């Protein structure tokens, strides 16, 4: 029986955050098809990420790094096509700007620490604590 579908309901209705089915097998089939397609796409994308990590010799623990997770999230939320920065952009303008940003953060945190805890003198393993 080519093209025929035999469907028997297991329950009268299924409701959840992403699914609402009231004996509507067409909707249920579409939802299942989307889940399968998304699962296949995710497997392909996971494989591309894995190959990238292996070929670029990136340590696996990078995926646990908060900055990596933030970048993946922001990239996912980007509304249009995203083209990553070029080699030149990474090692010139973006590097310079990151250096300025980190320098500002270090200065700000140092001054906050001085105002909160006071200051001490340390030089060549010498300190002013008796």
**In the predicted model, what is the mean pLDDT of residues 3-13?**
42
Better-scored residue on pLDDT, 35 or 10:
35
**In the predicted model, what is the mean pLDDT of residues 83-102?**
90
Question: Tens digits of per-residue pLDDT, 50-82?
Answer: 999 999 999 999 999 999 999 989 988 888 888
Does the pLDDT at position 37 exceed 80?
no
Look at residue 81 in the predicted model and tell me its pLDDT: 87
**In the predicted model, what is the mean pLDDT of residues 14-38?**
57
Look at residue 12 in the predicted model and tell me its pLDDT: 41
Measured CA to CA, the distance from residue 62 to residue 77 in angstroms comes to: 21
Q: Are 57 and 51 in contact (CB under 8 A)?
A: no
In 3D space, the residue among 87, 90, 86 whose CA is nearest the CA of residue 98 turns out to be 90
What is the reported pTM? 0.51
Q: Per mean pLDDT, which range of 41-45, 75-79, 114-118, 124-128 is the poorest? A: 124-128
Does the pLDDT at position 43 exceed 50?
yes
Better-scored residue on pLDDT, 2 or 95:
95
Is residue 78 left, alpha or beta, with left meaning phi > 0 and alpha meaning psi from -120 to 50?
beta
């Amino acid at each position: 029986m080519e093209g025929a579908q035999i469907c028997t309901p297991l329950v009268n209705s299924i409701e959840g955050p992403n699914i609402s089915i009231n004996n509507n097998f067409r909707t249920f089939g579409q939802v299942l098809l989307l889940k399968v397609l998304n699962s296949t796409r995710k497997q392909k994308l996971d494989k591309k990420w894995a190959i990238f990590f292996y070929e670029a010799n990136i340590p696996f623990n990078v995926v646990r790094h908060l900055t990596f997770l933030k970048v993946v999230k922001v990239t996912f939320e980007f509304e249009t096509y995203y083209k990553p920065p070029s080699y030149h952009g990474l090692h010139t303008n973006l590097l310079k700007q990151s250096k300025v940003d980190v320098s500002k953060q270090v200065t700000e945190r140092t001054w906050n620490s001085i105002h909160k805890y006071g200051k001490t003198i340390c030089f060549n393993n010498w300190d002013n604590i008796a």
